[in-house]
Amino acid sequence: MSAGTASDAALDALFVPFDAGELTFPAQGGVLVLRAREGIALREHIRPGWLLQQSFAPATNALARHHYATIDDLGDAEDGGAVGARLRAMGHPETFEFVLVLPTRQREETRALFARAMALVSPTGVVVASVPNAEGAKTAEADLVALAGGVAQLSKHKCRVFWTRPGVAPDAALWRAWLAFDAPLPIDEGRYTSRRGLFAWDRIDTASKLLIGVLPDDLHGHVADLGAGFGYLACEALARNPGITGVDLFEAEGRAIEPARLNLAAAVARTGRDIATRVEWHDVTLGVDGRYDAIVSNPPFHQGRADDPTLGRAFITTAARALVPRGRFWMVANRHLAYEATLAACFGQVRTVVERDGFKVIEAKDPRP
The CA distance from 141 to 154, in Å, is 11
pLDDT in the model for residue 302: 56
185-367 has the same fold as 8-179? yes
Exposure pattern of 200-219 as b/e (b: 16+ CB <10 Å)? bbeebbebbbbbbeebeeeb
Q: How remote is the C-alpha of 151 from its chain's centroid? A: 28
Fold of 8-179: Rossmann fold (3.40.50)
Distance separating alpha carbons of residues 226 and 345, to the nearest angstrom:
19
Of the candidates 285, 170, 271, the residue with the CA atom closest to the CA atom of residue 226:
285
**With contact defined as beta carbons under 8 Å apart, do 293 and 220 qualify?**
yes
Q: List, in order, residues 6 or more apart from 222 with CB less than 8 Å away.
A: 244, 245, 246, 247, 248, 276, 290, 291, 292, 293
What predicted TM-score, i.e. pTM, was given to this entire model? 0.92
Position 361 scores a pLDDT of: 98
Digit-coded pLDDT (tens) for 116-161 = 999 999 999 999 999 999 999 999 999 999 999 989 999 999 999 9
How do the domains of the chain map onto residue ranges? 8-179, 185-367
Looking at domain 185-367, its CATH superfamily turns out to be: Vaccinia Virus protein VP39 (3.40.50.150)
Residues of the chain short of pLDDT 70, as ranges, are 1-7, 77-80, 302-307
Closest alpha carbon to 313 in 328, 292, 291, 329: 329
pLDDT of residue 3: 42
Sign of CA dihedral 367, 210, 197, 269: negative
Residues 6+ apart with CB under 8 A from 137: 131, 159, 160
